[in-house]
Amino acid sequence: MKKNKISFGTNFWSAYEAGNPYDALHAFFDFSHLDEYKQILSGVAIHSYRRKIYKQDNPCHVFVIYTALGSFIKVCNCLKRKSRKWQVEGSGDFSSIIHLASLSKEEYKDPFKVFQKAFEEISLEQFESFLCEIVHISLSPRAGESDYDIITPYIYLIKMLDAGQLSMERGIEKIKKKKLCWDILSPVE
């Protein structure tokens, strides 16, 4: 049986289509820095409540980041499903609370928890609708109102960006199955 490959849509904003989530994650953070993604996402969210167009001098940049974030959400959804077989390398030790960013201590130790929790609360389709909605409203010259809560997906997306960056920095490894060794005792004569 042939497995269907998931398209992450990286060819829209990068030079190639990444075949697996780890390559797509690297392409995402090679394309732009974490702080730029957060800044644009925050700007778009804030401008969705204003009558002014976000990045009026170059709104196409917002669209490109929108496509990259859409790919990132698909990657996070895929990583959530692979969390049973893969883990982030390293112990997750941090020397300062600043290293945590938006993550809790448990999420910093295991960034896959962020993806699991996010997609328990909000579906992939809801995340995609959220992105489309805030980009649409922020690029409109009229003040718009969203039909649903945009704060919750925004918070989860910020946390996923931090978890994604952390996963990429520390690396991802396959979970090794632990084998139990039983000593076979021979009967004493």
Decide: 55 and 146 in contact? Cβ < 8 Å: no
Tell me what pLDDT residue 37 has. Answer: 93
User: What pLDDT, in 10s, does the model give residues 102-122?
Assistant: 888 888 888 889 999 999 999
Residue bearing the bigger pLDDT, 130 or 105: 130
Residue 119 lies in a domain: yes
User: What pLDDT, in 10s, does the model give residues 19-62?
Assistant: 788 888 888 999 999 999 999 999 888 887 777 888 788 888 88
Residue 189 lies in a domain: no
Residue 186 lies in a domain: no
User: What pTM was computed for the model?
Assistant: 0.81
pLDDT band for position 186 (50/70/90)? very low
Decide: 115 and 22 in contact? Cβ < 8 Å: no
pLDDT over 90 (residue 159)? yes
* Nearest CA-CA partner of 115 in 46, 181, 161: 161
Residue 42 lies in a domain: yes
- What is the rounded average pLDDT for all residues in the chain? 80
Lookup: tokens for 169: 């920095």
Neighbouring CB atoms inside 10 A of 88's CB total 22
| Domain range enclosing 31 | 10-174
pLDDT band for position 162 (50/70/90)? very high
Residue 162 lies in a domain: yes
pLDDT over 60 (residue 1)? no
Task: Report the pLDDT averaged over residues 135-150.
Answer: 76
User: What pLDDT, in 10s, does the model give residues 60-88?
Assistant: 888 899 999 999 999 999 888 876 666 67
Q: How many domains does the chain have?
A: 1
Decide: 20 and 6 in contact? Cβ < 8 Å: no
Residue 120 lies in a domain: yes
Question: How far are the Cα atoms of 43, 89, 95, 172 from residue 166, in angstroms, in the given order?
Answer: 23, 10, 15, 10
Residue 3 lies in a domain: no
